[in-house]
A and B are shown apart, each in its own frame.
Chain A
Amino acid sequence: MAGSDLYTGSLDLIILKALSWGPLHGYAVGRFIRTSTADALSVQEGALYPALHRLERKGFLQEEWGLTDSNREAKFYQLTPTGRKQLKSELARWHRYAQVMTAALGAGRPQAAV
Chain B
Amino acid sequence: MKKTFHLSRGGDDARDEVRKEIELHLELRAREFEAQGMSPEAARKAALDAFGDRGAIESEVKGMRVTTVRERNRRDWFSELRLDLRVAVRGLLRSPGFTIVALLTLALGIGANTAIFSVLRSVLLRPLPYPDADRLVQLWTDHRPRGRAEPEWLTPPDFADWRSGNRTFTDMAAYQGWGPDLTGSGDPASLDGATVTGNYFNVLGAAPALGRLITMADDDAGAEPVVLLSDALWRTRFGADPAILGRAIALNGEPWTVIGVLPASFRPPLESSPQLFRAMRRPADSGCGRGCIVLRGIGRMKPGVTLQQAQADLGAIAERQAAEFPRTNDKVGVWLVPLHQQITGTSRAALLALTGAVAFVLLIACVNLANLLLVRGAGRGREFGVRAALGAGRGRLLRQLLTESTLLAVVGGGLGLLLGATGSRILATLVPPSIRSIQDIRVDLPVLVFTAGVTLLSGLLFGLLPALHAARVDLMSTLKSGGRGGSGQDGALRNGLVVAELAFAVVLLVGAGLLLRSFLLMQQVELGFRSQGVVTTAVFFPRARYQEPPRAVAAIDAVLTRLRANPEVRAAEATDVLPMSAGDQDVTAIPVGMPARNDAPGSIWYRSVTPGYLQLMQMRLVSGRHFTPEDREGSAPVGIVNQEAAQRLWPGVNPIGRVLATSDDPKDPRLTVVGVVAAARHDGPNQPFKLELFMPLGQFPSRAVNLVIEPSRDAPAATAAFRRAIQEVDPLVPASAVEPIEQLVGGAVALPRLYALLVGIFAGAALLLAVLGVYGVMAHAVAQRQREFGVRLALGAAPSGILRLLLWQGGKMVLLGTGIGLIAAFGAGQLLGALLFGVGAFDLPTFTIVPIVLAGMALLASWLPARRAMRVDPLVAIREE
Contact = CB atoms under 8 A, between A and B. Distances in A.
A27 B24 contact: yes
A73 B52 contact: no
B51 A45 contact: yes
A53 B24 contact: no
Contact of B25 (A23, A27, A65): A27
Contacts of B5: 65
With a 10 A CB-CB cut-off, give which of A27, A49, A66 has the most chain B CB atoms: A49
Interface in A21-36: 22-23, 25-27, 30-31
Interface string B14-29: 0001101110110011
Interface stretch (B62-70, B324-332, B799-807, B864-872): B62-70
B64 A53 contact: yes
A79 to B, nearest CB: 14
Nearest to A75: B21
16 contacts: A23-B1, A26-B21, A27-B29, A30-B29, A45-B51, A45-B52, A46-B51, A54-B64, A57-B68, A64-B1, A64-B3, A66-B1, A67-B1, A67-B4, A73-B4, A73-B6
A72 interface: yes
A49 B67 contact: no
B54 interface: yes
Contacts of B1: 22-23, 64, 66-67, 76
B61 A25 contact: no
B53 interface: yes
Given A25-B24, A27-B25, A75-B21, A47 B52 contact: yes
Nearest to A74: B24
Contact of B2 (A22, A46, A56, A67): A67
B114 to A, nearest CB: 45
A108 interface: no
Interface in A58-114: 64-68, 72-76
Contacts of A50: 57, 60-61, 64
Contacts of A20: none
A37 interface: no
Interface in B43-95: 50-54, 57, 60-61, 64-65, 67-68
Contacts of B64: 50, 53-54, 57
A58 B65 CA distance: 12
A40 B68 CA distance: 32
B65 A53 contact: yes
Contacts of A49: 18, 21-22, 25, 57, 61
A2 interface: yes
7 tightest A-B CB contacts, nearest first:
A44-B52, A65-B6, A46-B52, A46-B57, A66-B1, A46-B51, A53-B64
B92 to A, nearest CB: 35
B43 to A, nearest CB: 14
A54 B28 CA distance: 23
A3 to B, nearest CB: 9
Contacts of B20: 73
Contacts of B61: 49-50, 53
A44 B50 contact: yes
With a 10 A CB-CB cut-off, give which of A2, A56, A65, A68 has the most chain B CB atoms: A65
A96 to B, nearest CB: 31
B68 A65 contact: no
A66 B52 contact: no
Contacts of B68: 53, 56-57
Contacts of B18: 49
Contacts of B51: 44-46
Interface residues of A, number: 28
Contacts of B24: 25-27, 68, 72, 74
A18 B521 CA distance: 93
B59 to A, nearest CB: 10
With a 10 A CB-CB cut-off, give which of B1, B3, B52, B67 has the most chain A CB atoms: B1
Contacts of A64: 1, 3
B313 to A, nearest CB: 71
Contacts of A47: 52, 57
Contacts of B22: 26, 46, 49
B52 A2 contact: yes
B46 to A, nearest CB: 11
Nearest to B47: A45
A16 to B, nearest CB: 18
B2 A66 contact: yes
B8 to A, nearest CB: 9
Contacts of B6: 65, 73
A56 B61 CA distance: 11
A21 B449 CA distance: 56
B67 A30 contact: no
Contacts of A45: 25, 29, 50-52
A49 B19 CA distance: 11
Contact of A46 (B17, B32, B54, B67): B54
B297 to A, nearest CB: 72
A47 B29 CA distance: 15
With a 10 A CB-CB cut-off, give which of B25, B32, B50 has the most chain A CB atoms: B25
Contacts of B50: 44-45
A56 B65 CA distance: 9
Given A30-B29, A64-B1, 5 more contacts: A25-B24, A27-B29, A45-B29, A72-B24, A75-B17
A30 B4 CA distance: 23
Contacts of B28: 27, 68
Interface in B400-440: none
B234 to A, nearest CB: 66
Contacts of B53: 2, 46
Contact of A66 (B4, B21, B67): B4
Given A50-B61, A65-B6, A74 B54 contact: no
A27 B51 CA distance: 11
Contacts of A72: 24
A36 to B, nearest CB: 16
B52 A30 contact: no
A22 to B, nearest CB: 8
Contacts of A75: 17, 21
A65 B1 CA distance: 9
A56 B60 CA distance: 14
B52 A65 contact: no
Contacts of A23: 1
A70 B2 CA distance: 11
Nearest to A62: B72
Contacts of A65: 3-6
Given A45-B25, A57-B67, A75-B21, A66 B3 contact: yes
B65 A30 contact: no
Contacts of A31: 32
With a 10 A CB-CB cut-off, give which of A25, A31, A66, A75 has the most chain B CB atoms: A75
A89 B186 CA distance: 87
A68 B31 CA distance: 14
B420 to A, nearest CB: 46
B29 to A, nearest CB: 7
A1 to B, nearest CB: 9
A46 B110 CA distance: 61
A24 to B, nearest CB: 9
A85 to B, nearest CB: 20
Contacts of A25: 21, 24
B810 to A, nearest CB: 57
A44 B17 CA distance: 21
Interface string B371-382: 000000000000
Nearest to B32: A31
A45 B881 CA distance: 69
A53 B162 CA distance: 79
Nearest to A30: B25
A44 B47 CA distance: 11
B49 to A, nearest CB: 9
A47 B64 CA distance: 14
Interface string B616-639: 000000000000000000000000
Contacts of B3: 64-66
A74 B26 CA distance: 13
